Chain A
Amino acid sequence: MTNQFILRSALIAIISAWLTGCSSEEAVEPPAAVETEADAEAALIERAMAIHDRVLTLDSHADTPLRMIEPGFDMAERHDPRETGSKFDYPRMIEGGLDSVFFSAFVAQGIRDDEGNTRARDLAIQMLDAVVASADANADQVGIALNPEDAYALEQAGKRAVYLSIENGYPIGGDIANVEMFFDKGVRYITLVHSTNNDLADSSTDSNGPEHNGVSEFGAEVIREMNRLGIMVDVSHASDDVFFDALELSKAPIIATHSNARAVTRHQRNMTDEMLKLLAENGGVIQLTMLSSYLRDAPPNPEREAAITALQADMKPATEMTPEERSAMRDQINAIRRQYPDPLATVVDVVDHIDHMVSVAGIDHIGIGCDFDGGGGIDGVFDVSEVANITIELVRRGYTEEDIRKIWGGNLLRVFKDVQAVAANWEA
């Protein structure tokens, strides 16, 4: 595997350490202590990269199907994330050493009537078809995966594995037959609910509060059908009561494909220690996500605030501005933003969450779901090409290769097998 970013980082670390130890007038030989420190860092990175290369790496959640419906967007092309906002394409997947991914078809919650449900179903199908089409068009590099072992088989064949999933149960509508239709389309997990309540379950972030006080009656039926078919039940975005209901209702372990620890960062989307413990008892897995606001409390940005306040103090009332003046004002604000960017969370924050989750739930119940193209992307893991930096930080904290193998996909694929085993032994 190659990862130019990591190699560049290693080189910079070595050169920086060396340069800090000598001025232009000093001997070119670096001091021994600095050399040792730089060597140690380089060795750590080399060790981490070797592990990253050996273990099967799986990202359980990417909203990249949203990009795939952008006219002209080509998954075979490398995109600049800071120019286009795109966080995932196949060249960067290879560059980052990511072996497998769940692409999630997301349909925004709309009206919950027959017409709205039908439209949501059709839109979800369009996105799933777009994923399959992108895999077909790049069949020399990726393949559609349907079962846990497919990821390993594709890796052996030198390809990346693409799994399908749905974020938000809205496209199921009120028709239970749609669950099997989506299974037949290749969907292997369904996130029950998104940011507002739906017919299946309550969201953790609906401003109107709970509607069902957990999973609805129909939602319970959907979970049962998912169990029967071997579709994983995803409780990310769901309210706490939905989590507890899903634990009780599901005959198979459940998953949270992109959620963090609430004890570390207080956010309703994150899971409490009690939930983490129960998830571990259930045999499930929580997949840590790369959203700054779920990873740490946002630090203040006083320089930016002061600069914008000063600009606004001299500003003509916006209602009296000409279009040219408005455009100039926008340029000035954007310049301030570039000068004082909001700091993103870092890989250190990520592994702080992992450390906590491991201490509460154990190493067998943690994974990674970056949520690229759904808001995910932090300093050091801004896009998929940089995911190996997580492995480096894990090695730095003392995680073993076996630990990292579990975190980077082993745990999720174990749950996937367990879910399929429940389906295989299903008795009506």
Chain B
Amino acid sequence: MRTLRLAGVAALLLVPVLGSAHPLRLSLCQIEYSSQAATLTVSLRLFLTDVNEALVFDPYSRALRFAEADESENAEPLLLAYLGEFFSLEANGEPVPVSIQSKVLGGAGEDTTLSIGFSYRLTAPLRSMTIKNVVFTDLFFDQTNIVYVHVDDASRSMMLSKSTPSHTLEF
């Protein structure tokens, strides 16, 4: 079985929870913090059809060709602009700039996923983190976004949605 690593993070395999056209509208985000490295590492895994629908209004569009050799120059700017509206992270009350340092495609067909990853070094130990994740809630009323947070040896999960767009964790 293939395993993916993104910028040091054990990337989630966002899988078709329910077969073709993923009837459960879902994205997975994994955030890792290591006190030793003082670094936040973020992996966001999205269904490619949802990404295309959000950015170019056509789930099967080939206009952007994310993570392919001939990826469109518009792909990253469009995705970052979208994420700027629907995804954000704060550490110790300060915004963490979202960037795209890695991109990987996984799965196949309707269930193809796009995983993006980035890391950010903190200047102070992590005491609090606010996560907002409402990606694709503008497309699907039942979109749910699972977030796994691993801070040193402690793991916890949460689900964010249109009705619960963000949550703050204290450490």
CB-contacts of A193-228 with B (<8 A): 194-198, 205-208, 211
Within the assembled complex, what's the spacing in Å between the Cα atoms of A206 and B22?
14
Is there a chain A Cβ closer than 8 Å to B95's Cβ? no
Residues of chain A within 8 A of B144, CB atoms compared = 66, 70, 85
Q: In the complex, what's the smallest C-beta–C-beta distance from B47 to chain A, in angstroms?
A: 12
Total count of chain B residues near the partner, CB < 8 A: 58
Is there a chain B Cβ closer than 8 Å to A292's Cβ? yes
Interface contact B19-A70, CB-CB below 8 Å: no
Is there a chain A Cβ closer than 8 Å to B146's Cβ? yes
Interface contact A108-B15, CB-CB below 8 Å: yes
Interface contact B1-A196, CB-CB below 8 Å: yes
Kindly report which residue of chain B lies nearest to residue A318, judged by CB atoms.
B56
| 8 Å CB contact of B10 from A110, A208, A298 | A110
Interface contact A70-B57, CB-CB below 8 Å: no
Interface contact B10-A115, CB-CB below 8 Å: yes
Interface size grouping (class) on chain A: 35 or more
- Give the interface SS of chain B, mostly helix, strand, loop or mixed: loop
Is there a chain B Cβ closer than 8 Å to A315's Cβ? yes
Residues of chain B within 8 A of A110, CB atoms compared = 10-13, 30
Interface contact A330-B3, CB-CB below 8 Å: no
- Measured CB to CB, the residues of A under 8 A from B are 63, 66-67, 69-73, 82-85, 107-113, 115-116, 118-119, 122-123, 126-127, 194-198, 205-208, 211, 267-269, 291-294, 298, 312, 315, 318-319, 323, 329-330, 333-334, 371, 374-375
- Measured CB to CB, the residues of B under 8 A from A are 1-5, 10-25, 28, 30, 55-58, 63, 72, 74, 78, 81, 85, 107-109, 111, 138-139, 141-144, 146, 148, 150, 154-164, 167
Q: Can you list 23 contacts pairing A with B, beta carbon distance less than 8 Å?
A: A66-B159, A70-B161, A71-B160, A71-B164, A85-B141, A85-B142, A85-B143, A85-B161, A108-B14, A109-B12, A109-B13, A118-B155, A126-B156, A196-B13, A198-B1, A205-B15, A207-B108, A207-B109, A294-B19, A319-B63, A319-B74, A323-B81, A330-B57
Known A110-B10, A126-B157, A318-B78; further 6 A-B contacts with Cβ < 8 A = A63-B24, A108-B12, A111-B3, A195-B17, A267-B19, A291-B23
